[in-house]
Amino acid sequence: MKNAMRMLAPVLLCFVFAIPGTPFLNAQITNTIRAHIDHSFVIGNTTLPPGEYTFQMIHNTDLQLMTVTSENDKTSVSFIVGSAIDDHTPRHSELVFRKYGDAEFLSKIFESGSRDGAEVTEPSRDERRFAQQGLQPIEHTEEQK
């Protein structure tokens, strides 16, 4: 019986810590974020032109699905996100992009006043190809006002 408890104790301990932390695995953006982006960018396998965009979480998806819509409602893309933590608390909403040459890929989104944000979890085919070629992206943050 003691041997069984010794073997079972680490498993039970993992459950004790894992279950309460589960809600924190989701992205924490709760408000709509409006952004002006002055360059084309890629989300998933869709390239979006420069312009005004609205980012928001899709309701009833446990904060795991986000959508971006162009100002004129002509373009809308949904994408899966996970949790991201910023190294500082942004004063304004921030969009983080990874750039390979002329191609820019949306990487993370942070809401003003919160270090908790969303990270795009599915890289596009092009981004995977760049990574397989050993290219290193340049990451940059664009503050939205």
- State pLDDT tens for residues 22-52: 344 445 788 999 999 999 999 989 999 999 9
Q: Is the pLDDT of residue 10 over 70?
A: no
pLDDT at 123: 87
Backbone angles phi, psi at 8, to 5 degrees: -80, -25
State the Cα–Cα distance between residues 79 and 65, nearest whole angstrom. 6
Q: What is the pLDDT of residue 27?
A: 54
Q: How far is CA 134 from CA 114, 121, 130, in A?
A: 33, 20, 7
pTM for this predicted structure: 0.78
pLDDT of residue 89: 93
- CA 144, chain centre distance (Å): 16
Half-sphere exposure of 4 (CA within 13 A, CB side): 1
Both tokens of residue 41?
């960018």
Q: 66 and 33 in contact (C-beta within 8 Å)?
A: no
Percent of the chain whose predicted confidence (pLDDT) is above 70? 81
Residue 23: its pLDDT value, please? Answer: 40
Residue 8 has pLDDT above 80, yes or no: no
Note the pLDDT of residue 118: 95
Categorize the per-residue pLDDT at 120 as very low, low, confident or very high, splitting at 50, 70 and 90. Answer: very high
- The Cα–Cα gap between 8 and 59 comes to 39
Task: Write down the pLDDT at residue 12.
Answer: 39
CA 22 to chain centre: 17
